[in-house]
Amino acid sequence: MDALSRLAIHTITTKPWSLEQACEHYAAKGVAGISVWIEAIEGREPADVKRVIDAAGLEVPALVRGGFFCDPSPVERAKRVERNRGLIETAAEIGAQMIVLVVGATPGQPLVMQRNWVQEAIRQLLPTAEQCGVQLAIEPLHPMYAGDRSCVTTLGQARRICTELDHALLGVAVDVYHIWWDEHLEHEIKTIGERGELFAFHLCDWRCPTRDMLNDRALMGDGCIDLKTIRKWVHDAGFDGWEEVEIFSDEHWATDQSQFLDLIIDRYRGLLEPT
Quick check: 164 binds a second copy (CB under 8 A)?
A: no
Least gap, CB of 191 to a second copy (angstroms): 17
Residue whose CB is less far from a second copy, 197 or 216: 216
Contact code string over 187-206 relative to a second copy, x by CB under 8 A? -------------------x
Q: State the DSSP string of 24-56.
A: HHHHHTT--EEEEEGGGGTTS-HHHHHHHHHHT
Phi, psi of 99 (to 5 degrees): -120, 135
Distance, in Å, from the CA atom of 271 to the CA atom of 275, rounded to the nearest integer, reads 9
Quick check: 270 binds a second copy (CB under 8 A)?
A: no
Distance of CA 42 to the CA centre of its chain: 18
Quick check: 181 binds a second copy (CB under 8 A)?
A: yes
Q: Which of 62, 139, 223, 239 binds a second copy (CB under 8 A)?
A: 223
Residue whose CB is less far from a second copy, 111 or 263: 111
Residue whose CB is less far from a second copy, 85 or 217: 217
Quick check: 142 binds a second copy (CB under 8 A)?
A: yes
Least gap, CB of 69 to a second copy (angstroms): 17
Write the DSSP symbol of residue 140: P
Quick check: 183 binds a second copy (CB under 8 A)?
A: yes
Cβ–Cβ < 8 Å for 79, 104 = no
Quick check: 55 binds a second copy (CB under 8 A)?
A: no
**Beta-carbon-side half-sphere exposure of residue 126 (alpha carbons within 13 Å):** 16
Distance, in Å, from the CA atom of 66 to the CA atom of 80, rounded to the nearest integer, reads 9
Quick check: 157 binds a second copy (CB under 8 A)?
A: yes
Quick check: 275 binds a second copy (CB under 8 A)?
A: no
Cβ–Cβ < 8 Å for 169, 189 = no
Quick check: 153 binds a second copy (CB under 8 A)?
A: yes
- Considering only the C-alpha atoms of the chain, give the largest distance between any 2 of them, rounded to a whole number of Å: 52
Q: Which ranges constitute the DSSP H helices of 133-249?
A: 155-165, 176-179, 185-194, 227-236
State the amino acid at position 58 in one-letter form.
Answer: L
Q: CA angle, 220 as apex, 228 and 135 as ends, to 5°?
A: 80
Residue whose CB is less far from a second copy, 85 or 142: 142
Residue whose CB is less far from a second copy, 17 or 68: 68
3-class SS at 62? Answer: strand
User: What is the H or E stretch that residue 61 is in?
Assistant: strand 60-67
Quick check: 146 binds a second copy (CB under 8 A)?
A: yes
Quick check: 113 binds a second copy (CB under 8 A)?
A: no
Size of interface with a second copy, in residues (CB under 8 A)? 28
Q: Which of 112, 166, 274, 275 binds a second copy (CB under 8 A)?
A: 112
Q: What is the dihedral of CA 75, 37, 122, 93, to 10 degrees?
A: 100
Q: Which of 144, 168, 254, 272 binds a second copy (CB under 8 A)?
A: 144
Least gap, CB of 41 to a second copy (angstroms): 26
**Which residues bind to a second copy, rule: CB under 8 A?**
107-108, 110-112, 142-144, 146-148, 153-154, 157, 180-183, 206-211, 213, 223-224, 226
